[in-house]
Structure 1
Amino acid sequence: MNFEQIKKHLQNMGASGLAVPLLLLCILAMMVVPLAPFVLDMMFTINITLSIVVLMAVIYAMRPLDFNSFPSVLLFATLLRLSLNVASTRVVLLHGHDGPGAAGRVIEAFGEFVIGGNFAVGVVVFAILTIVNFMVVTKGAERVSEVSARFMLDSLPGRQMAIDADLNAGILTREQAVTKREEVRSEADFYGSMDGASKFVRGDAIAGILILFINIIGGMVIGPVMHDMPFSEALRTYTLLSIGDGLVAQVPALLLSTSVAVLVTRVADPGEMAKQIGAQLFNHTKVLYVTAGVLGLVGLVPGMPNFSFLTLAAVCAAAAWWMSKRARDQATTQSSALDQAALAAPKPAELSWDDVGQNDVLGLEVGYRLIPLVDTRQGGELMSRIKGIRKKLTHELGFLVPPVHIRDNLQLAPGAYRLLLNGVPVAESSVHPEREMALNPGRVFGKVEGIATKDPAFGLDAIWIEKGSREHAQSMGYTVVDCPNVIATHLSHVIKQHASELLGHDEAQALLDQLAKQTPKLVEDLVPKALSLSVFVKVLQNLLSERVPIRNLRVIAEALAESAGRTQDPAQLSGLVRVALGRQIVQDINGMDPELPVMTLAGQLEQVLQDSLKSGGAAIEPGLAERIHKSLSDQTRQLETSGQPAVLLVPPGLRPLLARFTRQTIPGLHVLAFDEVPESKQLKMIGAIS
């Protein structure tokens, strides 16, 4: 790289890009460049100021990740303090014989004012500060950082799986999932960095102790030998200077150690620390009343400092009375507002035909303990989760999923909920709103304490755990979801199961209107010229009942337009449309895999079923049906366990019969006709049903 390239590179970096490297070079230069006492005073003052700024930034940070540059800041502050120790050591040993002011006003002030010019007191004060910093704050912060980093890394796979589950359930958009994954990765990096950064603080504390003893020993040697000072005077002078220098370094070190401890002990709840502590420490007036009573009793004991204890008891009692009065005033204000609203409410009108309501297409009824989950004023998240599910399923299924009307039902158990379709219950379950569900994905590395249960959507083994055990369960391999997620996933599963019942004439007409904006001639020739709207609706419902999305509406309309002249039977038209949608159907089953593993019917069984259809039979003989069902169920279970899709490939005439036969009892089985598999797919025969 020539000079012009270097110049251009520096211009691109700009002032902000050069600030950090230059600062680091200046800090390292202080170790080798002699500094005047005035410069030392300025740098010591800057060091103390920086420590205070860092401590205030940590206290007012809403959450630990808001100060994710803290490990780097801690490294720079530690290097600055060590550089100042080296620079001050040079000045103390070179000019200490000139008196206490030879190393600058800051060191002199700490040596004279803080410890009163008594080196014995200075040694004791320095020892106490060092013990507090090294043995209490630094050791505790180091242990918390280590444990936090370990648990964060152990829970990382489970948290990633939870994000994927929320994305698949429609609770999160793709952009939100990317943001959450980045946040999880940043949090893991942050706690890992904090685990290493806490070692800087520990090493700095040890270095401060060693530098103090080195300065004292060096001064007792240099003073008498090089400057002909009496040993007692050299001991006093250099000890005072060394202790002053050590205290100047220990005070910022203690502030930074406290900053580390505060940051790593904060929970992930956003909010200012002062407000959190105030709200949680004085949450109940009983706390202050009991405290006032204890202080009052101690203050009445003869020989105790009665004035101090009785004064603080009065202060606590007054604060408790004020908090109780404020709570009563707020309750009175809310009650008055409710009374005024009740008076202002309109009088009930006479009954009319408008009062004869229709059943909601989709409904959710909840017990009274689940009301906070659906009340946005109380922080309920279920409404937003349901909105995300509707958006995702609308895109997947190909039509607008109707709104979900939520209401409370006092006849239900407190933690129960019920899902309704056209006013009729189709599913119900119960949850524990104060707990979270830990799902067993099939492979876990231990057990967690909780209430055993089943996932209401898919029947997986699960445990209701305490919210504080979330990270522990995730580290064991469980997928942990909260109550709104459990209910939303169950709702999503029910909507998919009953998608055909959600599509009616109005929805079908809306789909045709949307398609007419792109292909008006196709829609004009299809409905009502070639097909009636009722037949079109029935075909779409048949596809949805067989788990075939109708999002590719143009292909469906073209296939119907071509086949309407041959038949008007919805069942036959549905089979012809499935052939046109073959690529989409197979794609949804096994994606881009070039091979499609399939099962077939044994020749004898296929002939029996064909003969039954020719003779007008619409069902399978009971004994034969039971044996076929058992064989298909066993094969499907084995394939699902191995991670392969279960596909039964049959002749076109048998497909509707076998699809109806297995739709409800073997939901994991896909029944395809020979002509529905695109030519680009290679078939892999894995067995025959006999």
Structure 2
Amino acid sequence: MATEAATLNLRDIGRNGLGAPILLVMMLAMVIVPLPPIALDMFFTFNITLSLAILMVTVYALRPLDFGVFPTVLLVTTLLRLALNVASTRVVLLNGHTGTGAAGKVIESFGDFVVGGNYAVGLVVFSILVIINFVVVTKGAGRVSEVSARFTLDAMPGKQMAIDADLNAGLITQDDARSRREDVTREADFYGAMDGASKFVRGDAIAGILILFINIIGGLAIGTLQFDMPVADALRNYTLLTIGDGLVAQIPSLVLSSATAIIVTRVSSETKMSDQVMSQLFGNPMVLAVVGGIMGFMGLIPGMPNFAFLTLGVAAGAGAYYTWKRQQQELLPAVQEPVEQEIPTEARDLSWEDVGPVDIIGLEVGYRLIPLVDRSQGGQMMDRIKGVRKKLSQELGFLVQPVHIRDNLELAPNAYRILLMGVPVGEAEIYPDHELAINPGRVFGTLQGIETRDPAFGLEAVWISPAERDNATTLGYTVVDASTVVATHLSELLQSHAHELIGHEEVQQLLDVLAKNAPKLVEDLVPKTLSIGIVLKVLQNLLEERIPVKDMRTIAETLAEAGARSQDPGALTAAVRVSLGRSIVQHINGMGPEIEVITLDPSLEQILQSSIQAISEGGAGIEPGLAERMHQSLAESAQRQEAAGKPAILLVTPAIRAWLARLVRHSIPMLNVLAYNEIPDNKQIKVVANIGTDAPSLGVQAG
């Protein structure tokens, strides 16, 4: 019970943050307050035990970061050892004249038993330990720490980019990326701290040498001058005590230096160091067989220690045979497995595992396009598609799902097909050994080749040989390779179908990311105010009109406020559009202070509003002839704006904006339909066209 109570008290001290201050105060007390020999025995034994424990931790750690506090522990143990040196020096110099047991049993044992009571042998042993520690272990560990710190810091940008690439490719989650970034930062901090901590070990070795000479010279002077001891007795007593003190300090120092060298030379692995040594050093039977043969040959030479060499030769040969036999047994199941699979078995019943999930985004290619997606054959399409996903994810505001690519023998050899939810949304035919010269609208000549149209935008284009690339560029054509054609087509389709790519899982991820910065906002929004399904529908409505959902904080704040008044996704979408008005207008019109817009006559707006209300109540809609003339006038006005290099913007009342946007979304794709309340206050409006009901074309130009 007493032991358990003491353990709990120590845990409470550590938990309250008092452990380190108490330890530092104790080390300071050892420097100032004289310690009795029994206390020195306890502290020196504790120092040796702590050093061995640290060595074992470094041996069994799977990677350096598993013992990330090692630099701090190294500093504390070094200070503890130096404090003990000061305390023992005081005792040796004060009481050394009484005999070799003046500084306690530990120092006496190391000075008497370990070196046989011969101070000359003790000096040699101590010198050898210092040389090993200072010249070999400490110097090598310091150099490895320095180089590791430099290379770790140099590799940080590359590791961060690799993490971002895996995250953008969908190979890891946000949590995995965050954890890996923290590991990279911790690794750089660790090796940087080890670079500095290794200097403490080096300084400790130098201090041990100086303390040795100070103790011997000081002890000899005190013994002969103050206590009138014979020179031989004074030299023997003080030298043995100093040697014992030095060995007690140098052995833990050598252990910690070895631990430092082990941890900075470790390679991160999922196996223990002992398993790595056994598998990598003795895992090749050929190595052991050759070593056994050489040792056996040397054992047969007359005059050599035959028994030792022949014994080790036989042991190495037996180890080689055992290792070879074990490897053969491990390979045997792998060899027999295909044979066992060839035996016909009873047909397995169908299960849900046989029903494969539908790929959200799929790309099917004909057999002649396989080299484009095969990296081993120099294909670049995989990298282009990864770039498309990264670009769209950044623009749209959510992670676009991976593209699953497979070959399809039912397609033409040069054809490809893009699918969403298993349904084809686009297909085209390309020529891998040609390049596509696209006519952007104005060129200064013609090209010989296979005439076609750009699959992404429907522009006139020609497939030409790579040798004609420079000529086509000179004539004003935009020339791209086959992989870029597919990537551009995929990008355009994914952007236009972005609302189909976002689902409940993506919305939950967006909310989880937002919750890290605004937890109360997310808590009040879902599920208190709105369900995740309604939030999903609002985001889908925004993406369908090509409005990114990057500003999730503004969207969530607007939904939390408007959701208390209405649960209708259409009304909520309109409210969010008003909040995002500045970014919507800037995306369409840029930073210009003036916005050129097309408007509807108030009488026409009144007719449309009444017709929409009638449709919602089950009545008749807008008169077909009026709808056709209005649509024609809108198309003409939008084309004039596009020809002038200006964005085509239709400005209407909020009540009819959503209906008109759906009406012209596919027929007049260049026309942007905005509501009056979506225009920021700092923008000036210039009406360039007004659509009324009186003229046949319904179009009246305004200055």
Per the normalisation by structure 1, the TM-score is 0.59
SS of corresponding position for 2:591: strand
SS of corresponding position for 2:116: coil
Offset of residue 277 of structure 1: 2.5
Which residue is equivalent to 1:432?
Answer: none
1:159-558 equivalences in 2 (<5 Å): 159-160=159-160, 162-164=162-164, 166-167=166-167, 170-343=170-343, 345-347=345-347, 362-363=361-362, 422=422, 497-498=493-494, 544=544, 546=546
The CA distance in 2 between the partners of 1:151 and 1:262, in whole Å, is 18
Offset of residue 28 of structure 1: 1.8
Which residue is equivalent to 1:39?
Answer: 39
Residue of 626, 644, 648 corresponding to 1:650: 648
Offset of residue 675 of structure 1: 4.7
Offset of residue 224 of structure 1: 1.6
8 Å CA contact 1:598–1:684 kept in 2: the answer is no
Offset of residue 558 of structure 1: 10
The CA distance in 1 between the partners of 2:215 and 2:667, in whole Å, is 91
1:55-77 CA-to-partner distances (Å, cap 9, x unmatched) read 00111112222212222222221
1:282-320 CA-to-partner distances (Å, cap 9, x unmatched) read 343333233333333443444433333332232222222
SS of corresponding position for 1:227: coil
The CA distance in 2 between the partners of 1:135 and 1:42, in whole Å, is 30
Which residue is equivalent to 1:120?
Answer: 120
Which residue is equivalent to 1:106?
Answer: 106
SS of corresponding position for 1:597: coil
The CA distance in 2 between the partners of 1:586 and 1:293, in whole Å, is 83
The CA distance in 1 between the partners of 2:81 and 2:40, in whole Å, is 11
Offset of residue 544 of structure 1: 4.5
8 Å CA contact 1:38–1:104 kept in 2: the answer is yes
The CA distance in 1 between the partners of 2:356 and 2:236, in whole Å, is 95
Cα RMSD after superposing both structures: 5.9
The CA distance in 2 between the partners of 1:360 and 1:661, in whole Å, is 30
8 Å CA contact 2:137–2:261 kept in 1: the answer is yes
8 Å CA contact 2:589–2:647 kept in 1: the answer is no
8 Å CA contact 1:100–1:237 kept in 2: the answer is yes
Offset of residue 154 of structure 1: 4.0
1:505-562 CA-to-partner distances (Å, cap 9, x unmatched) read 9x99xx9xxxxxx999x99xxxxxxxxxxxxx9xx8996595767999999x999989
8 Å CA contact 1:598–1:649 kept in 2: the answer is no
Which residue is equivalent to 1:129?
Answer: 129
1:243-297 CA-to-partner distances (Å, cap 9, x unmatched) read 1211111000000111111112223334322222323333433332333333334
Change in 2 beyond 3 A, CA 1:397/1:15? closer
Letter of the 1:113 partner, please give it. F
8 Å CA contact 2:152–2:191 kept in 1: the answer is yes
The CA distance in 2 between the partners of 1:261 and 1:363, in whole Å, is 52
Letter of the 2:269 partner, please give it. D
1:202-252 CA-to-partner distances (Å, cap 9, x unmatched) read 121111111100011012211221222222232222212211211111000
Which residue is equivalent to 1:526?
Answer: none
The CA distance in 2 between the partners of 1:109 and 1:492, in whole Å, is 81
SS of corresponding position for 2:32: coil
Offset of residue 101 of structure 1: 2.3
8 Å CA contact 1:597–1:683 kept in 2: the answer is no
Change in 2 beyond 3 A, CA 1:211/1:285? same
The CA distance in 2 between the partners of 1:684 and 1:145, in whole Å, is 63
Offset of residue 504 of structure 1: 8.2
8 Å CA contact 2:595–2:683 kept in 1: the answer is no
Offset of residue 601 of structure 1: 10
Change in 2 beyond 3 A, CA 1:34/1:349? closer
8 Å CA contact 2:664–2:671 kept in 1: the answer is yes
The CA distance in 1 between the partners of 2:357 and 2:45, in whole Å, is 76
Change in 2 beyond 3 A, CA 1:548/1:289? same
8 Å CA contact 2:299–2:309 kept in 1: the answer is yes
Which residue is equivalent to 1:145?
Answer: 145
The CA distance in 1 between the partners of 2:634 and 2:33, in whole Å, is 105
Change in 2 beyond 3 A, CA 1:497/1:586? farther
Change in 2 beyond 3 A, CA 1:599/1:335? farther
8 Å CA contact 1:596–1:682 kept in 2: the answer is no
SS of corresponding position for 2:647: strand
Flag structure 1 segments of 5+ consecutive residues without an equivalent: 1-10, 372-381, 411-416, 429-489, 512-517, 524-536, 563-576, 604-609, 633-647, 664-669, 686-690
Identity of aligned residues (%): 46
Aligned residues: 515
SS of corresponding position for 1:287: helix
Which residue is equivalent to 2:69?
Answer: 69
**Structure with greater Cα Rg:** 2
The CA distance in 1 between the partners of 2:530 and 2:241, in whole Å, is 91
Worse-superposed segment, 78-87 or 125-134: 78-87
Offset of residue 122 of structure 1: 1.5
SS of corresponding position for 2:145: helix
SS of corresponding position for 2:18: helix
The CA distance in 1 between the partners of 2:584 and 2:79, in whole Å, is 59
The CA distance in 2 between the partners of 1:16 and 1:274, in whole Å, is 37
Per the normalisation by structure 2, the TM-score is 0.58
Letter of the 1:498 partner, please give it. L
Letter of the 1:649 partner, please give it. P
The CA distance in 2 between the partners of 1:683 and 1:587, in whole Å, is 10
The CA distance in 1 between the partners of 2:530 and 2:189, in whole Å, is 53
The CA distance in 2 between the partners of 1:310 and 1:684, in whole Å, is 99
